[in-house]
Amino acid sequence: MAILAYDGLCTFEFGVAVELFSLPRPELQVPWYVTDVVGIESGPLRAAGGISVLVDGGIDLLDTSDVIVIPGWRGTHAPVPSAVSAALRSAHSRGATILTICSGVFLLAATGLLDGLEATTHWRYVETLAEMYPEITVRPDVLWVDNGRLLTSAGSAAGIDCGIHLIRRDFGPETANSVARRLVMAPQREGGQAQFIPGPAETADTPLAELLQWAVGNLEADLSVAALAARAHMSNRTFARRFAEQTGTTPHRWVTHQRVLAAQHLLETTDLNVEEVARRCGFGGAVTMRHHFRSRLGITPTAYRHNFSIGEPVAI
């Protein structure tokens, strides 16, 4: 395995890759990854926080790497050296797997390898990624995307989830669960789980901010387009248009997202049964909430509580 390093290295993302793949794990009794830190350029490589990184070699090491991890990138518009692009394309053509964490997708996207595929990144960068690389189907609402030999993950912590997924794929669930336990984290945050994208804060300076804040505090209320438009003193059509302009989504999708977020919080922090959680969050019933959890998070409410609740989950 090769973990890329570059001047301006993202320290946390690099640490995630090292923690997941580089630490000796004799307790697992499997042929664990052998990792090299690969410098994509010469000279001192500085990382955020005043850290300097010593590498094991240059990009020629990619010629023999089975897995390549790209831990972030120094800027969404930072140019990618042509030699690095060529080395990544060559590695992929001979069968190597490439995994990106957070902004690392921009380096991979520059190679053209993601053209025609789905990918994700941190929610702050999804619009930029979509604008710069229209050939890529950008998934803004997931933690990671697995295209087989090309894996992309969202924000920094989602890189851990994607890495655990790769470990599970390479060595099986028992090994992945063991690594997750050592990290003191849940072993099953599925890729389809939504990123925790801020809601009203993103529109704090817009005319709709007050309405959105009210909606978040009143999820049990009628939050249909008609009801929200009436509260905003607009026609349905005008409201829907301005809502999309200011939030980048539809009222229905936004409301559903807020209800799912609220339900996640209640499932994590309370012992309310699923039916009561659904009622408090405005779903009306457990069946509807279960549908939205499956479609958005790829997991049922009960399974979500089992994986993420604080303390012992209740039997439902």
Domain residue ranges of the chain, discontinuous segments joined by +: 2-182, 200-308
pLDDT per position as a tens digit, 73-129: 999 999 999 999 999 999 999 999 999 999 999 999 999 999 999 999 998 999 999
Q: Are 305 and 294 in contact (CB under 8 A)?
A: no
Cα–Cα distance between 5 and 223 in angstroms, integer?
Answer: 48
Amino acid letter at 228?
Answer: L
Q: What is the pLDDT of residue 163?
A: 95
2-182: CATH homologous superfamily? Class I glutamine amidotransferase (GATase) domain (3.40.50.880)
Which stretches in the chain have pLDDT values below 70?
A: 186-207, 308-316
- pLDDT number for residue 201: 40
Q: What is the pLDDT of residues 183-199, one digit of tens each?
A: 877 554 555 555 554 44
CATH of domain 200-308: 1.10.10.60
CA distance 250 to 152: 26
pLDDT of residue 285: 95
Q: Which amino acid is at 305?
A: R
Question: What pLDDT score does 272 carry?
Answer: 94
Q: In 115-222, which residue ranges form alpha helices assigned H by DSSP? A: 126-132, 156-171, 173-182, 209-217
pLDDT for the residue 200: 42
